[in-house]
């Protein structure tokens, strides 16, 4: 068990170097560079750090990279991660100021009813994940009530509480509210 922890910590410790190595592959070639990305070399492909933790927010800030927070499945640290990213941000050749995105589930349809129907696929997906049964996105259902227990519904509702589901007006309002709250770019 101790060796596994050391290995996991080594992977975490190597991640910043891995990101920087990836950046070099898309930068202009250097004379002593042993490995070159073909056809990527020199394309200056913008790298974003997608994360769901405070660690990823701090790493994006330290490297001066754009940051996307994965609130579509891990929303508990969202506001804290966004604030930490902005507070710790160090300008880089990539960015001179923080630039952040928030990833959320959005289901839009002609009507609220249609959007809620489509959303049942996402709800079932999260329910299946909680049951340890990952798989393809399930077909929509008319009624979720018979598929989950009250405790499971609570857990799925909590995990999806930032999901924006509805008609055009409701989705626009939800996105504007999210932008105001998170100050995402």
**Which neighbouring-strand residues pair with 49?**
67
The secondary structure element, H or E, covering residue 9 is helix 2-26
pLDDT digits (tens, 9 = 90+) for 161-179: 999 999 999 999 999 999 9
Specify the range with the lowest mean pLDDT, choosing from 8-17, 71-80, 139-148.
8-17
The answer to whether 168 and 108 are in contact (CB under 8 A) is: yes
**Residue 43, pLDDT score:** 67
Whole-angstrom Cα distance, residue 181 to residue 185? 11
pLDDT-derived band at 120 (thresholds 50, 70, 90) equals very high
Q: What is the pTM of this model?
A: 0.78
pLDDT: which is higher, 117 or 41? 117
Summarised one tens digit per residue, pLDDT across range 84-101 is 999 999 999 889 999 999
Task: State the pLDDT confidence band at 23, using cuts at 50, 70 and 90.
Answer: confident
Provide CB contacts within 8 A for 74, sequence distance 6+.
52, 53
Residue that wins the pLDDT comparison between 73 and 144: 144
């Amino acid at each position: 068990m101790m060796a596994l922890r050391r290995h996991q910590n080594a992977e975490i410790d190597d991640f910043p170097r891995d990101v920087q190595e990836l950046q070099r592959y898309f930068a202009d070639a250097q004379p002593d560079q042993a490995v070159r990305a073909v056809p990527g070399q020199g394309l200056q492909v913008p790298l974003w750090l997608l994360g769901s933790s405070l660690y990823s927010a701090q790493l994006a800030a330290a490297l001066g990279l754009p940051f996307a927070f994965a609130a579509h499945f891990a929303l508990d640290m969202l506001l804290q991660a966004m604030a930490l990213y902005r507070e710790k941000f160090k300008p880089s050749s990539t960015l001179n100021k923080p630039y952040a995105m928030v990833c959320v589930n959005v289901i839009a349809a002609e009507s609220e009813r249609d959007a809620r129907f489509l959303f049942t696929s996402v709800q079932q997906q999260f329910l299946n994940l909680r049951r340890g049964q990952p798989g393809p996105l399930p077909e929509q259902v008319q009624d979720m009530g018979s598929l989950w227990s009250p405790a499971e519904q609570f857990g799925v509702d909590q995990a999806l509480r930032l999901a924006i589901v509805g008609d055009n007006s409701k989705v626009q309002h939800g996105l504007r509210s999210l932008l105001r709250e998170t100050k995402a770019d």
